[in-house]
Amino acid sequence: MIFQYIGDEVKFVIDERGKKYIFNEEDDFHSDLGIIKKEDIKKSNIGNILTTHLKREFKVIKPNVNDFIDLMNRQCSILIKKDIGLVLAYTGIGNGDKVLDAGTGAGAIALHFGNVVGNDGMVYSYEIREDFSKIAKDNIDSFRMNNIIIKNKDIKEGIEEKNLDLIFLDLIKPYEIIEDAYNCLNHGGFLVIYGVYLDVIQISHKILKNAGFEDISIIESLNREYEIRTQGIRPKTRMVGHSGYLLFARKL
């Protein structure tokens, strides 16, 4: 695990309702469940139970990347787990790989990429909006991710990095940089495009073929949980249906 956020200054905890918090050791913690003294927070370790003055319990836990993303600052929509998981699984990126992400937003998928490629890898993320790039940089700095570089730059001006293993595009017109992306990928590298509208995916698909990409596929993931009752088990009425389409292509 690359994260070192739990240390001498903060603790990641979950209350008896399942709600997550980050505690700062420099201050007492106040909530509707009561107060926890900073002295108790400071001396606690992973697995310990912290009890408020109202006798309500909080457990100190070791966080993962999803826990951080749940609590991080965001002022825009982010990719959800079902789509991020497909990108990681289908491209097979791993420790030491070089990844480029364009359309950083709050930095959710960049954090996942950074977590997977490890300290031996590198993630470069382009964001045209200055406000979003600042939010993403603050999030990544807070999580002490030292293998992610945020660039406040329009990727259409050119990709500076070469020999990349994966390029991920979450842009309005991703097809405008497909040829540049092809030239910056390693042989065997992937280009993945996320789009919420099929016409963008259709245009991109045509340009990908003309640019020389192979193994092109379009995937939509639908995610439905199940509920267990005394009467039996059944699908939940609500589900995470359409969020976007993923277009995969490989340079071979």
Q: pLDDT per residue over 65-81, tens digit each?
A: 888 888 888 877 788 88
Ranges in the chain annotated CATH 3.10.330.20: 10-63
Backbone angles phi, psi at 148, to 5 degrees: -125, 130
Helices marked H in the chain — which ranges? 38-42, 65-71, 81-91, 108-117, 130-142, 178-184, 198-211
List all residues 6 or more positions away from 55 whose beta carbon is below 8 Å from its beta carbon.
34
Regarding predicted confidence, which is higher, 21 or 164? 164
Q: Which residues of 20-40 are buried (b: 16+ CB within 10 A; e: fewer)?
A: eebbebeeebeeebeebeeeb
Tens of pLDDT along 202-235? 999 999 999 999 999 999 999 889 999 999 999 9
Residue 248 pLDDT: 98
pLDDT over threshold 70, residue 137: yes
Backbone angles phi, psi at 176, to 5 degrees: -70, -20
Residue 10 pLDDT: 65
Across the chain, mean pLDDT equals: 91
Tens of pLDDT along 23-35? 877 888 898 999 9
Give percent of the chain above pLDDT 90. Answer: 69
Residue 70 pLDDT: 86
Ranges in the chain annotated CATH 3.40.50.150: 67-250
Confidence of residue 6 (pLDDT cuts 50, 70, 90): very low
pLDDT over threshold 50, residue 7: no
pLDDT over threshold 70, residue 5: no
pLDDT over threshold 50, residue 52: yes
CATH architecture of 67-250: 3-Layer(aba) Sandwich (3.40)
Residue 9 pLDDT: 57
Is domain 10-63 annotated with CATH 2.40.30.10?
A: no
